[in-house]
Amino acid sequence: MNRSFRHRLGARSDKGSRQENEDSHVVRENDDVWAVADGMGGYENGKWASQTVIDAISAAGLTGRLETDCAILADAILAANTAIHEAGARSDRTMGSTAVILASRDDRFVCLWVGDSRAYLLRGEHFVQLTRDHTQVQDMVEHGMLDAAAARAHPLSNVLSRAIGVQAELSIDAVQDQIAAGDVFLLCSDGLTGVAADAEIALRLSTLQPEAAAQDLVDLALDRGAPDNVTVIVVACDEVTRAPEPAGARS
Ligand code: CA
């Protein structure tokens, strides 16, 4: 029998020092799906773009099977890509959105993403970034043209190389792996990672319950002036212990 997990959650979003919040997010509590999207293109367009992505993810009919749901969620992102791209073409504006989506099924997870919204996993003392930013600067790092420290300070550090709605075609990255008891996932927009270091984020995830961690991470961004909207979803995984099946119950 597969192991399964119960999830404890914290989700917060704040406009920071911006006038409006162009981030959107969703918690599909009964479906074990969580997502953050960060819109761009000026407020009305950016908010509409990120909400269009989140609406598509919210409406996706899921099966509870990891591989199938991964494909269904990818199709939802592609449908949002078409809708945003067509709206942009009609209004002669460039608008778009990032997305990072996490889905948990039994003892496995899948994470899909486009852009620079990130997923992290805290497992014991290890804090790893599951996603790889689709930014021009990250592309330069991977081609050996820039080191990581220079990348963070680079003036073009937030220029996306890939976003939902910008082009008619879109490729989506995904990572799948096992879940372990005690795993804590974080989904966030770049309003957090632009002002907080990995170690500061990991400290809060390892010492606070998900709701308190989500609030504390947003407060950390606000304390630092929050130049951008900030959205975080924290998902902690507790293994569900099942009573052993009685002897002879299975053939
Ligand atoms: Ca942002």
Which residues are within 5 Å of ligand 1 (an ion), measured at CB?
A: 38, 189-190, 228
CA distances from 126 to 56, 79, 87, 176 (A): 33, 35, 42, 17
* Spacing, Cα 46 to ligand 1 middle (Å): 10
Give 171-209 pLDDT, tens digit per residue: 999 999 999 999 999 999 999 999 999 999 999 999 999
CA–CA dist 217, 13 (Å, integer)? 10
Candidates 121, 129, 125, 130; CA nearest to 179 is 121
Neighbours of 107 (CB within 10 A): 16
Give 50-104 pLDDT, tens digit per residue: 999 999 999 999 999 999 999 999 999 999 999 999 999 999 888 999 999 999 9
* Spacing, Cα 166 to ligand 1 middle (Å): 16
**pTM, to two decimals:** 0.94
49-86 burial, b for 16+ CB within 10 Å, e for fewer? Answer: bbbbbbbbbbebebeeebeebbebbbebbbbbbebbbe
Write out the H or E segment, with its range, that includes residue 109. Answer: strand 108-114
pLDDT for residue 248: 60
* Spacing, Cα 207 to ligand 1 middle (Å): 26
CA–CA dist 37, 243 (Å, integer)? 39
| 26 strand-pairing partners | 35
| Mean of all residue pLDDT scores within the chain | 94
Write out the H or E segment, with its range, that includes residue 141. Answer: helix 136-142
* Spacing, Cα 158 to ligand 1 middle (Å): 8
